Amino acid sequence: MSLITIFVYLIFVLCLIYTSFILVFYEWRWPSYRKKCRQLPAPKQNIIFGIGWDLMKVKREELMNFIKNLWKNVGDIILIEILGLPNVILMAPDDVEIVLNNSQYITKGLEYLTIVPWLCEGLLTSTGNKWHLRRKILTPTFHFKILENYIPVFNKNAKLLTQKLSENAIFPNEVDIDSYVSLCTLDVICETAMGTSLDFQLGEASEYVAAIRKAGEIILKRNMTFWLFRDWLFYLSPIGREFSKTVKQLHSFTEKVIKERKEICIKNQCHHNNRENNGAYKQRKSFLDCLIEMQLENPSIMTDEAIREEVDTFMFEGHDTTSASLTWILFMLATHPNIQKKIQEEIKIIFGDSDRTAELQDLHELRYLEMVIKESLRLYPSVPYFSRYLLVDLQLKKYTIPAETNISIIPYLIHRNPKIYPDPEKFDPDRFLPDIAKQRHPFAYIPFSAGNRNCIGQKFALLEIKVILSTIMRKLWINTTMKKEDVNILPEMILRPSPKIQLSFTNIS
């Protein structure tokens, strides 16, 4: 018998075993579970593969349209199954509110398991009492006064980004804008999260940049490749071994920075000086400094491992999401010159012809710019979907979704509900005029999630985006030869454009 024949027989036997597992485990072992699931609205699905067979035929850039058609044909609650794993998509703001506002439903969905080896049990991935304690501990580190101290970091890196663009992207020379803004946001996050200036925009610390990008790419590939979801199979594969090596490199870097910052903090006695010496310790505190102070005051609550988890989490969540948001906003401005002009008129009123850096009060006064940012986040939320895993039954108005079901919430589509947002594909910042915005359901706009597990760093992100945009637009006019219809969206962990967005700039001063 040839090796090919043996291989074919082996595949056949494995498929037979898997089919039996699906039938026995899901159809016979959990009859009450299956009974509840059958009451939920669902498209026609294969008994073995569920909707997975159809998904295999869908290109990534067509995925949102595929789900949009399910929404149109099935309704606001959609049960889909992929290889026997049930998943319910919720599209109605009322149902989304029930999930996001209830502390019983804070456990992240199965998709987040692939991030755990890197971030461990930080704020993004933890649940239960551990999450509640961490959230309580970390909330003060995003206090208004601490965020205000980060504004000079935003200004410094925004100014450098503007300089780089004016040197390399002057019209008609178009560049991949994300490659510029991502280095800027990495510089910001490293200095604010770890208190370390790594000068990514100047070409320094390239190994760390490469490691962060490699980890993100592997996580994405794993999420898109269902046979790599099992840990034992993933870590036997070459890509799994590469991921282990990359995570070890990232953890080693963070641990090294933590050790160095702790020595500085202890030397300056920052946990006492800030309170007792009338401001004698005036160095700007990073997120890491705040965590180290907590550890020095209560070592049992904030261990070295816990500090590394949260710093890694902030690094992961804080740079790529902001970079993606800036890329989409700049593209929207380039394709809507009338709106770009209105922003520059607002900036002119606030800053005049001065070169002074932005202060907190200036950012509060950039009201039209804020409306533009919100409208761009409506159309292009940097995190296009997120999920929860039910530990207890979820009771909605009409249906009960059983425990041990994955719940998907898709801001990208919820923000395009024509009943809530007329002409939803139109870019219209006036949707966020106060009188109009307050009439909408509060869970019809969730670019930073909402409820108990809303993004703890959303104020940080909005301040950073405002500083970077206002700095660029004081000096440069944004151009592009691309049109909105030329760009597809890739709904990965972060919403990315395909092809990459190309922009050029014209000096205006």
The pLDDT tens digits of the residues spanning 374-428 come to 999 999 999 999 999 999 999 998 899 999 999 999 999 999 999 999 999 999 9
Name the strands in the sheet holding 77-82, side by side, starting at the edge strand that comes first in the sequence.
77-82, 85-90, 406-409, 386-389
pTM confidence score = 0.90
Check residue 50 and give its pLDDT.
72
Least confident piece of the model among 22-26, 75-79, 239-243: 22-26
Nearest residue to 320 (alpha-carbon basis) of 216, 244, 249: 216
| Residue 494 burial (C-beta neighbours within 10 Å; 0-12, 13-18, 19+) | middle
Q: How confident is the model at residue 29 (pLDDT cuts 50, 70, 90)?
A: very low
**Whether the predicted pLDDT of 223 surpasses 90:** no
Nearest residue to 410 (alpha-carbon basis) of 316, 313, 489: 489
Task: Give the span between the Cα atoms of 134 and 130, in whole angstroms.
Answer: 6
| Rounded percentage of the chain residues whose pLDDT exceeds 70 | 89
**Whether the predicted pLDDT of 185 surpasses 90:** yes
**Whether the predicted pLDDT of 244 surpasses 70:** yes
| Rounded percentage of the chain residues whose pLDDT exceeds 90 | 62
**Whether the predicted pLDDT of 163 surpasses 70:** yes
Convert the pLDDT of each residue in 461-497 to its tens digit. Answer: 999 999 999 999 999 999 999 999 999 998 888 899 9
Task: Give the span between the Cα atoms of 336 and 314, in whole angstroms.
Answer: 33
Nearest residue to 82 (alpha-carbon basis) of 97, 94, 66, 93: 66
Task: Compare 50 and 200 and report the one with higher pLDDT.
Answer: 200
- In terms of DSSP H, where are the helices of 78-176? 93-100, 116-119, 128-138, 144-149, 151-168
Task: Compare 203 and 91 and report the one with higher pLDDT.
Answer: 91
> Can you list the positions of beta strands (E) in 281-431?
386-389, 394-395, 400-401, 406-409
**Whether the predicted pLDDT of 309 surpasses 50:** yes
Confirm if 345 and 369 have CB atoms less than 8 A apart: no
Nearest residue to 498 (alpha-carbon basis) of 509, 507, 506, 487: 487
Nearest residue to 359 (alpha-carbon basis) of 367, 368, 350: 350
Phi, psi for 497 (deg, rounded to 5): -90, 150
Nearest residue to 257 (alpha-carbon basis) of 301, 213, 289: 289
Instruction: Assign 3-state DSSP to the chain and report helix, strand, coil percentages, each to 5.
Output: 60, 10, 30
Task: Give the span between the Cα atoms of 392 and 385, in whole angstroms.
Answer: 22
Task: Give the span between the Cα atoms of 457 and 243, in whole angstroms.
Answer: 27
Mean pLDDT of all residues belonging to the chain: 88
Task: Give the span between the Cα atoms of 370 and 377, in whole angstroms.
Answer: 11
Check residue 375 and give its pLDDT.
98
**Whether the predicted pLDDT of 336 surpasses 90:** yes
pLDDT (average), residues 149-153:
95
- Residue keyed to tokens 């692939």: 114
Task: Give the span between the Cα atoms of 294 and 457, in whole angstroms.
Answer: 19
**Whether the predicted pLDDT of 281 surpasses 70:** no
Alpha-carbon dihedral angle through residues 278, 280, 284, 289, given to the nearest 10 degrees: -90
**Whether the predicted pLDDT of 279 surpasses 50:** no
Check residue 296 and give its pLDDT.
86
CA atoms within 13 A on the CB side of 443: 18
Would you call 433 helix, strand, or coil by DSSP?
A: coil
Domains observed in the chain: 39-507 (1.10.630.10)
